[in-house]
C-alpha cells in the first residue's frame, strides 16, 4: 500500500505535507506540538486533522502489517494462489483481511476439525460439489464408516461431513461480507428485561429498533443496561433473508446432496456466522455511538467553558511568546470574541512602541478593563510590558497572571 498517496488523497493534503507529517509523527513529536510549531511543514493543518491523520496512519500500517502476516501464513501452508494474493492485497479493512484469512487460520478444536480427524473431509468436499450424477449421500457415506476412527454409522459420517461443510460456508469471506451488510440494513436491535431489573431501563424491557436508525444515545443506554444485567440485548434478522444469501452461494438445486448442503448452510448461519457478525455489528454501533456522544458533550461543554469569569468586564487575553509574537484576543461580558491580533513587544523583534499603540487602540475601542497574561514562555517580559502600558494609560485597567500549565497541549488535544 502506498501510504503517502492514500493519506494525501483521503485528507486532501499535498504529498509533501503528508510526508512531513508522517516524518514528524515518526520522530516522536506530539500532535499539539506539530499543530502549534510546525505549521509551515504541515500546510497549517489544524490539530483535529492531524489527530485523524495520525489514527488513520496507524490503522493503515496495522492493516499493511496484518496483510503481510496473513499472506506469509497462507504461503507457509502451501495454499497461496494468485487470486488469494490479489484478494489479500486489495483488502481495505482489517475485517475484510480477517475474513479472507479465516479458512486458513489455525483453528481450535471444533466439530469440523474433529470430523476431519475422522477422515471425513473428502466426503464433505464431494457432497459440497453437488454433482447431479453423483450417488446418493448415504451411498457415498458408506465408504467412510470406520469404527477405529469413531465413525460407526451412516448418520455419523453424514453429520461429520455436514459439520465440515458448515465451517467451509462460515469461512467464506464474500458470504460473510454480504450477511454483515444485510444485518446493518435490515437487522433490528432488540432488548428484553433480564434478572436484575432496574426501573431506569424500564422503557427497554421490550424494545426494538432498526440497526440502520437507532440513535447513539439509545445504543449506549442499552449497553449500560446489559452490563448491569438489567437487559438482554441481541440483533434480530429475518432468517429467510440470510439463508437466501447462503443458499445462493453454495446450494445447487436438484442435486442428490443439495438438502445436506442446505442444512449445513442453516447450521453455519445459526451456529457460526450469526453470533460472530452480531458481535461485529454491535461493536461498530457502539464505536459510532461513543463518537457521537463525545461530540455532543463537546457542544454542551463549549458554552460552559466560554462563560466569562469576570462578570461585566471586557477582557483582553495575552498569550506571551518570543519568535511568534504575543497572541491577543478581546472578549466581551458574554465571552463573545470582539477582536484578535498579534503583537511583538518581546525579543527578538522587540517592537514595544508598536505593540503599545495596538493594545491602546484595542483597550479604548472595546472598553477593556482587565488583562489576562499567560504565565508561560516570555511571561515576565510581557508582564513588564503590560504594567508599563497601564501606567502610561492611567486607565482603570488591571491585569492578572494566569496559570497556563498544560493549556497548549490540552487546547490542541482531541479531548478539548
Q: What is the mean pLDDT of each run of 10 residues along the chain (416 residues)?
A: 89 94 94 89 90 93 95 93 93 91 86 94 95 91 93 94 96 94 96 90 95 94 94 95 96 90 96 95 93 84 74 91 92 90 92 94 94 90 93 90 77 69
C-alpha cell at 403: 496559570
What pLDDT, on the 0 to 100 scale, is given for residue 414? Answer: 66
DSSP 149: G
Prediction pTM value: 0.64
DSSP 195: S
C-alpha cell at 310: 469576570
CB 245 within 8 A of CB 175: yes
Q: Which long-range contacts (CB under 8 A, 24 or more apart) does 258-263 make?
A: 258/130, 260/127, 260/137, 260/158, 260/161, 260/162, 260/165, 261/127, 261/128, 261/130, 261/165, 263/162
What pLDDT, on the 0 to 100 scale, is given for residue 32? Answer: 85
What pLDDT, on the 0 to 100 scale, is given for residue 121? Answer: 95
What pLDDT, on the 0 to 100 scale, is given for residue 308? Answer: 62
Return all residues near 293 (Cβ < 8 A) that are at least 6 apart: 216, 217, 220
| Cis geometry, peptide bond prior to residue 125 (ω within 30 degrees of 0) | no
**Residue 185 to residues 45, 96, 179, 181, 272, Cα–Cα distance (Å):** 36, 18, 10, 6, 20
Amino acid at each position: 500500500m502506498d501510504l503517502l498517496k492514500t493519506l494525501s488523497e483521503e485528507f486532501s493534503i499535498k504529498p509533501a505535507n503528508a510526508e512531513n507529517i508522517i516524518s514528524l509523527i515518526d520522530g516522536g513529536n506530539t500532535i499539539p506540538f506539530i499543530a502549534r510549531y510546525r505549521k509551515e511543514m504541515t500546510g497549517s493543518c489544524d490539530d483535529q486533522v492531524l489527530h485523524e491523520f495520525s489514527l488513520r496512519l496507524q490503522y493503515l500500517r496495522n492493516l499493511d502489517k496484518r496483510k503481510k502476516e496473513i499472506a506469509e501464513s497462507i504461503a507457509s501452508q502451501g495454499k497461496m494462489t494468485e487470486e488469494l494474493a490479489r484478494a489479500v492485497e486489495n483488502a481495505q479493512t482489517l475485517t475484510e483481511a480477517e475474513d479472507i484469512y479465516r479458512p486458513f487460520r489455525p483453528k481450535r478444536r471444533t466439530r469440523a476439525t474433529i470430523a476431519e480427524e475422522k477422515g471425513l473431509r473428502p466426503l464433505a468436499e464431494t457432497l459440497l460439489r453437488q454433482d447431479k450424477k453423483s450417488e446418493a449421500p448415504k451411498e457415498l457415506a458408506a465408504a467412510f464408516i470406520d469404527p477405529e476412527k469413531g465413525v460407526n454409522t451412516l448418520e455419523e459420517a453424514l453429520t461429520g461431513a455436514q459439520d465440515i461443510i458448515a465451517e467451509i460456508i462460515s469461512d467464506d469471506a464474500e458470504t460473510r461480507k454480504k450477511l454483515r451488510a444485510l444485518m446493518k440494513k435490515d437487522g433490528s436491535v432488540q432488548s428484553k428485561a433480564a434478572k436484575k431489573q432496574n426501573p431506569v431501563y424500564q422503557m427497554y424491557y421490550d424494545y426494538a429498533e432498526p440497526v440502520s436508525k437507532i440513535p447513539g444515545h439509545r445504543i449506549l443506554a442499552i449497553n449500560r443496561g446489559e452490563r448491569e444485567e438489567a437487559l438482554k440485548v441481541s440483533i434480530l434478522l429475518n432468517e429467510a433473508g440470510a439463508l437466501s444469501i447462503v443458499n445462493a452461494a453454495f446450494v445447487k438445486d436438484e442435486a442428490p446432496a443439495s438438502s445436506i448442503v442446505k442444512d449445513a448452510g442453516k447450521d453455519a448461519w445459526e451456529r457460526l456466522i450469526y453470533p460472530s457478525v452480531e458481535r461485529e455489528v454491535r461493536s461498530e454501533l457502539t464505536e459510532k455511538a461513543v463518537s457521537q456522544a463525545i461530540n455532543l458533550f463537546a457542544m454542551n461543554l463549549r458554552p460552559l467553558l466560554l462563560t466569562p469569569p469576570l462578570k461585566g468586564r471586557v477582557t483582553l487575553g495575552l498569550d506571551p511568546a518570543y519568535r511568534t509574537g504575543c497572541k491577543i484576543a478581546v472578549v466581551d461580558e458574554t465571552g463573545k470574541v470582539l477582536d484578535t491580533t498579534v503583537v511583538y513587544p518581546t525579543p527578538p523583534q522587540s517592537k514595544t512602541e508598536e505593540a503599545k499603540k495596538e493594545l491602546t487602540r484595542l483597550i479604548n475601542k472595546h472598553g477593556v478593563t482587565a488583562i489576562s497574561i499567560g504565565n508561560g514562555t516570555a511571561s515576565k517580559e510581557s508582564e513588564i510590558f503590560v504594567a508599563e502600558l497601564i501606567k502610561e494609560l492611567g486607565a482603570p485597567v488591571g491585569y492578572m497572571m494566569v496559570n497556563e500549565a498544560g493549556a497548549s497541549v490540552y487546547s490542541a488535544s482531541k479531548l478539548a
